[in-house]
């Protein structure tokens, strides 16, 4: 008597509760996957609690301020090495700030503007996006000012016989000498590079790789003199603090009068630097990088009709040589076994309503259609679970099915052959029958067919929407296909006999 062979599966790997949520895969993401990651990254940050956002923003302001302290130290007294080399060394030193942010975490205004992506996708409203920007901006400013107090109290401006302080004063005053539009453009160029640096980190899976990716873009914007609003929140107030609090002996030591820096005032800082640079940073980061990539990889994806992909496959059964047990299986089509799509969801439903619909009907997923019964996508338990994880299992209030559904799905026509569908669901013919582009059998085909099939892997949907004339007419599931093919195994087997066979096989 033949028995079903039961293979013992490997013990599942236990993941500690301390394991980060970030994937440990070392495979780099593609540009379109990076856009999806950026959307999730920005949405996650934009929906943090106010306390968490402000705390992380404060630390980011400190990190960027520390980076400028490093820049001042490296560039002080370096005139002998040449302007370009000195600026390059300073830029490399300043990149420490972004490296700390990437590794330690933080909320930086210049990268938080990427939350315009989930706003463009409808996951955030304008009020929520602007509220997040405001909190991060405020937190960055407070963090930068706190560091100014510490650095001034430590009297770092006296380093190198006061040359450190003179360098800081010169840098701060120079930032107030730009015209309004020039400052906007310098801010735009700066955050173009900062957000591209952050964007590149989305392709990496390790902290070391992420840190390495941000160094050169940051070094370029700093060395060339582009304007970063958070860096300026530290640098200009530091210059004002030195001008206001430095002892007379400091001015005597450097041979310069405090009146030489009369333009270093809070009013000039606000009008000549803070406002225009903030505008430029938003344009460079939110508009050029954020909306730029969104328009390429995400824009309109919900509006475009889902194109059937399964229909390009041959409708001719191509399985192993030999007739199936029942000849009439060759004539069965999808229309003979499909069920009506009565459980279709609407793209405007909240994911809470979609979850209730799936649970009430004991479904693992359902198709999504618009008011014209045109297929829009597919939502499974997996998408809902991922969204719950992304939101830390809090109560999502406005998230809709349209924002999480799979948009790139496979469909089948009503007249599609059942055997071809069953083959596609379960077998990757290209792996089982490997041939070169010219049709020559590859060397691995010396393996028996059963072994090649066992070693092949296939990841195909369990549910296929059935589309006819652009309209959804039903769905066909793997369970329905198996039920239709059951006669090929012979007469029905009583449940008691099946249990007896299993008991005998393990005895």
Complete domains list, the chain, with CATH: 31-297 (1.20.1080.10), 310-426+455-490 (3.10.580.10)
Choose among 286, 235, 14: nearest CA to 130: 286
Q: How far is CA 250 from the centre of its chain?
A: 50
Q: Check residue 35 and report its DSSP letter.
A: H
Distance CA 160, CA 78 (A): 12
CA gyration radius, the chain: 31
| pLDDT value of position 26 | 42
| pLDDT value of position 447 | 67
Lowest model confidence (mean pLDDT) among 143-147, 308-312, 374-378: 308-312
In the predicted model, is pLDDT for residue 162 greater than 70? yes
| pLDDT value of position 76 | 95
Lowest model confidence (mean pLDDT) among 152-156, 223-227, 422-426: 422-426
| pLDDT value of position 263 | 92
Q: What is the mean pLDDT of residues 268-293?
A: 96
CA angle 487, 490, 494 (to 5 degrees): 100
| pLDDT value of position 448 | 72
Q: How confident is the model at residue 63 (pLDDT cuts 50, 70, 90)?
A: very high
Calculate the average pLDDT of the chain.
82
Lowest model confidence (mean pLDDT) among 107-121, 150-164, 399-413, 435-449: 435-449
Contact between residue 265 and residue 244 where contact means Cβ atoms under 8 Å apart: no
What percent of the chain is predicted at pLDDT more than 90?
44
| pLDDT value of position 333 | 87
| pLDDT value of position 453 | 72
Model-level pTM? 0.61
In the predicted model, is pLDDT for residue 111 greater than 90? yes
In the predicted model, is pLDDT for residue 195 greater than 80? yes
| HEC readout, 185-215 | HHHHHHHHHHHHHHHHHCCCCCHHHHHHHHH
Q: Which residue has the tokens 């130290």?
A: 73
467 phi and psi angles, rounded to 5 deg = -120, 135
**Residues facing residue 380 across a β-bridge:** 365
Dihedral Cα 23, 26, 32, 36, nearest 10 deg = 10
Q: How confident is the model at residue 499 (pLDDT cuts 50, 70, 90)?
A: low
């Amino acid at each position: 008597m033949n028995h079903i062979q039961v293979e013992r599966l490997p013990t599942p790997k236990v993941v500690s509760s301390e394991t980060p949520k970030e994937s440990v895969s070392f495979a780099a993401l593609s540009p379109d996957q990076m856009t999806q990651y950026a959307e999730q990254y920005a949405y996650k940050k934009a929906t943090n609690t106010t306390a968490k956002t402000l705390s992380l923003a404060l630390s980011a302001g400190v990190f960027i301020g520390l980076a400028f302290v490093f820049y001042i130290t490296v560039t002080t007294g370096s005139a002998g090495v040449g302007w370009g080399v000195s600026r390059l060394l300073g830029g490399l030193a300043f990149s420490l700030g972004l490296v700390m942010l990437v590794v330690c975490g933080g909320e930086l205004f210049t990268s938080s503007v990427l939350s315009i992506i989930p706003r463009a996708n409808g996951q955030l409203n304008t009020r929520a996006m602007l509220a997040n920007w405001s909190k991060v901006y405020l937190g960055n400013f407070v963090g930068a000012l706190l560091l100014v107090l510490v650095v001034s109290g430590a009297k770092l401006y006296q380093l190198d016989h006061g040359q450190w302080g003179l360098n800081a004063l010169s840098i701060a005053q120079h930032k107030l000498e730009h015209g309004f539009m020039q400052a906007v453009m310098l801010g735009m160029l700066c955050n173009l590079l900062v957000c591209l640096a952050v964007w590149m980190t989305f392709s990496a899976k390790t902290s070391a790789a992420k840190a390495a990716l941000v160094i050169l873009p940051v070094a370029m914007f700093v060395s060339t003199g582009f304007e970063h609003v958070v860096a300026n929140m530290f640098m200009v107030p530091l210059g004002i603090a030195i001008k206001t609090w430095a002892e007379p002996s400091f001015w005597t030591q450097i041979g310069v009068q405090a009146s030489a820096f009369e333009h270093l005032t809070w009013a000039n800082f606000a009008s000549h630097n803070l406002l225009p640079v903030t505008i430029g940073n938003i344009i460079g980061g939110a508009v050029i990088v954020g909306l730029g990539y969104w328009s390429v990889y995400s824009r309109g994806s919900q509006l475009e009709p889902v194109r059937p992909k399964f229909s390009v496959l041959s409708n001719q059964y191509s399985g192993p040589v030999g007739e199936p047990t029942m000849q009439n299986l060759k004539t069965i089509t999808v229309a003979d076994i499909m069920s009506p799509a009565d459980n279709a969801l609407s793209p405007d439903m909240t994911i809470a309503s979609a979850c209730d619909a799936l649970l009430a009907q004991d479904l693992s997923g359902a198709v999504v259609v618009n008011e014209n019964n045109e297929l829009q996508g597919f939502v499974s338990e997996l998408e809902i679970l991922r969204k719950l994880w992304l939101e830390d299992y809090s109560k999502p209030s406005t998230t809709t099915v349209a924002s999480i559904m799979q948009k790139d799905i496979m469909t089948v026509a009503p007249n599609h052959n059942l055997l071809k569908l069953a083959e596609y669901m379960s077998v990757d013919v290209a792996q089982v029958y490997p041939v070169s582009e010219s049709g020559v059998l590859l060397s691995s085909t010396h393996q028996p067919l059963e072994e090649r099939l066992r070693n092949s892997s296939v990841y195909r949907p369990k549910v296929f929407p059935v589309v006819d004339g652009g309209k959804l007419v039903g769905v066909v599931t793997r369970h329905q296909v198996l039920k239709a093919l059951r006669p090929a195994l012979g007469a029905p087997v009583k449940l008691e006999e099946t249990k007896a066979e299993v008991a005998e096989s393990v005895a």
